[in-house]
């Protein structure tokens, strides 16, 4: 079976966490034709791939319910930074305004669209300069944050009108994992140094343990922490391909167009500048994705054709290859149980500045996380941004520009 490829520029540009310089938005798409009937029709839709081969997507997702969201959904930045709880509540990491800054506000919205809570982490004593690297729901529904502390902000360059175009953020060497209620009260916390693990991303096991990824002993991997911060195990993963480049993990950059983008700089950070420890950093990111059970799947953001399972007891493996054609690339969005929801893109990237028209339907593929086999293919309307929730049988997406939370079923 051949997969078509579609535009994913917005998601790919804003969801990147580690870039070598200020982020450049690049369109990624290919020509395709879609022939179908009404959006809610179950009539098979034929999609032509670039080489003319046909792939039939016979499962269009249709809206079964829709609720309005509060206006703050417009500050969500990217759906990759929206978490979903078991009861369907959403956790928004709000993107700062025009002033160069990093994420520090959180909002929780119920499945019915009602506002449940909001807080600015910088209003919490001891975290006045905090930045939220990532947010997630614990199995009990509590909010858990991976937090860095900002030491200094430096505008690297401005345009003719004085607007900043590229900002360098310098961080300290301490990382925090905070468990909080809906109003910003800290319920529990622990910290670790970036010498243990750089703390680029994290995911939670069902039992409350946290897998934090980044560099461990100067190689790509992760550390499993207990809820009270005890180091339970170090996770080793195979070395990633590609040349290493020496940068400092304590520095992040952003552009005015995408202030949630975190990019590496080239100088040591903050008060530790004179003796700053320089870490080898790969141009790829190891992203942990929770499945809702006592296992987390590691995804290489540079090559997402495989999943590496990590159990709560630090057992690693097996490494599962998804059944994706060699001339296509994958973008793993959500994992529910043993089902991985994936977007399929062309391996051939278009030149920067290429302008393409978004198709009416966005294709998704569902793979088995145990065997890598293709289970089914789905079509989402181009107006549905997401999904932000995925259970394996249904999904929720944010419809724009209306700003509604839509429940979708096959």
**CATH number, domain containing residue 167:** 2.120.10.30
At 190-212, the pLDDT tens digits run: 999 999 999 999 999 999 999 99
Whether the per-residue pLDDT at 379 is higher than 80: the answer is yes
Q: To the nearest whole percent, how much of the chain has pLDDT over 90?
A: 42
The total number of structural domains in the chain stands at 1
For range 144-150, the mean pLDDT: 95
Rounded mean pLDDT of 386-403?
A: 91
Q: Looking at the predicted structure, is the pLDDT value of residue 277 above 60?
A: no
What pLDDT does 284 receive?
Answer: 55
- pLDDT value of position 406: 95
* Contact yes or no for 88/391 (Cβ under 8 A): no
- In the prediction, which pLDDT does 12 show? 38
What's the chain's average pLDDT? 75
pLDDT at 267 > cutoff 50: no
Structure tokens, 153: 């902000």
Q: Is the pTM of this model over 0.95?
A: no
More confident residue, 127 or 60: 127
Q: Does residue 303 carry a pLDDT above 80?
A: no
For residue 410, the model assigns a pLDDT of: 85
pLDDT of amino acid 164: 66
Residue 81 is part of which domain span?
Answer: 9-409
Structure tokens at 12: 């790919």
Q: Residue 326 pLDDT more than 90?
A: no
The pLDDT score that the predictor gives to residue 248 is 40
Confidence of residue 358 (pLDDT cuts 50, 70, 90): low
Look at residue 271 and give its three-state secondary structure.
Answer: helix
Rounded-to-10 torsion of CA 381, 383, 388, 391: -20
Question: Does 61 fall in a domain?
Answer: yes
Lowest mean pLDDT among 99-103, 151-155, 269-273, 386-390: 269-273
* 1 found inside a domain: no
Token reading at 247: 């940068």
Q: Is residue 4 part of a domain?
A: no
Q: Which residue has the tokens 């195979």?
A: 238
Higher-confidence residue of 26 and 310: namely: 310
Average pLDDT (136-156) is: 89
Answer yes or no: are the C-beta atoms of 187 and 144 closer than 8 Å: no
125 inside domain: yes
In this prediction, residue 98 carries a pLDDT of 65
pLDDT at 270: 32
Q: Phi/psi at 202 (nearest 5 deg)? A: -150, 160
The dihedral sign for the CA sequence 192, 194, 199, 205:
negative
Which tokens in the block code for residue 69?
């969201």
Mean pLDDT of 16-44: 31
Reported as a pLDDT band with limits 50, 70 and 90, residue 359 is: confident
Mean pLDDT of 237-248: 44
Strand segments (E) across 251-382 = 251-255, 258-263, 279-281, 286-290, 295-300, 303-311, 316-321, 328-336, 339-346, 361-368, 374-381
Q: What is the pLDDT of residue 109?
A: 96
Residues 347 and 332: their CA atoms lie apart, in Å, by: 15
């Amino acid at each position: 079976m051949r997969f078509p490829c579609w535009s994913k520029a917005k998601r790919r540009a804003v969801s990147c966490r580690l870039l070598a310089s200020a982020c450049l938005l690049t369109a990624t798409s290919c020509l395709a034709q879609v022939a179908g009937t009404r959006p809610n029709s179950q009539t098979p839709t034929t999609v032509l791939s670039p080489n003319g081969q046909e792939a039939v997507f016979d499962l269009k997702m249709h809206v079964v319910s829709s609720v309005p969201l509060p206006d703050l959904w417009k500050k969500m930045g990217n759906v990759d930074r929206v978490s979903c709880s078991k009861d369907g509540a959403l956790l928004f990491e709000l993107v700062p305004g025009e002033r160069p800054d990093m994420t520090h506000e959180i909002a929780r919205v119920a499945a019915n669209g009602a506002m449940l809570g909001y807080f600015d982490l910088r209003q919490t004593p001891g975290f006045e300069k905090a930045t939220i690297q990532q947010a997630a729901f614990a199995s009990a529904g509590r909010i858990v944050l991976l937090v860095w502390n900002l030491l200094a902000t430096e505008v690297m360059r401005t345009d003719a009108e004085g607007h900043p175009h590229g900002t360098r953020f310098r961080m300290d060497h301490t990382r925090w994992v905070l468990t909080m209620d809906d109003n910003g009260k800290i319920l529990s916390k622990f910290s670790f140094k970036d010498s243990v693990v750089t703390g680029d991303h994290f995911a939670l096991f069902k039992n409350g343990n946290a897998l934090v990824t980044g560099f461990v002993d100067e190689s790509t991997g992760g550390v499993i922490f207990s809820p009270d911060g005890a180091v339970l195990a170090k996770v080793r993963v195979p070395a990633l391909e590609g040349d290493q480049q020496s940068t400092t993990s304590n520095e992040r950059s952003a552009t005015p167009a995408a202030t949630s983008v975190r990019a590496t700089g080239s100088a040591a950070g903050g008060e530790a500048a004179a003796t700053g420890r320089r870490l080898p950093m790969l141009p790829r990111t190891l992203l942990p994705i929770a499945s809702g059970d006592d296992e987390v799947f590691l995804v290489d953001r540079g090559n997402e054709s495989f999943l590496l399972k990590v159990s709560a007891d630090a057992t690693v493996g097996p490494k599962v290859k998804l059944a994706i054609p060699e001339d296509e690339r994958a973008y793993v969005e959500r994992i529910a149980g043993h089902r991985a929801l994936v977007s399929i893109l062309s391996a051939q990237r278009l030149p920067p500045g290429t302008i393409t028209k978004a198709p009416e339907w966005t294709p998704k593929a569902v793979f088995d996380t145990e065997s890598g086999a293709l289970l089914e293919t789905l079509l989402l309307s181009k107006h549905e941004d997401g999904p932000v929730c995925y259970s394996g049988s249904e999904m929720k997406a944010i419809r724009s520009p209306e700003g509604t939370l839509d429940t979708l079923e096959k």
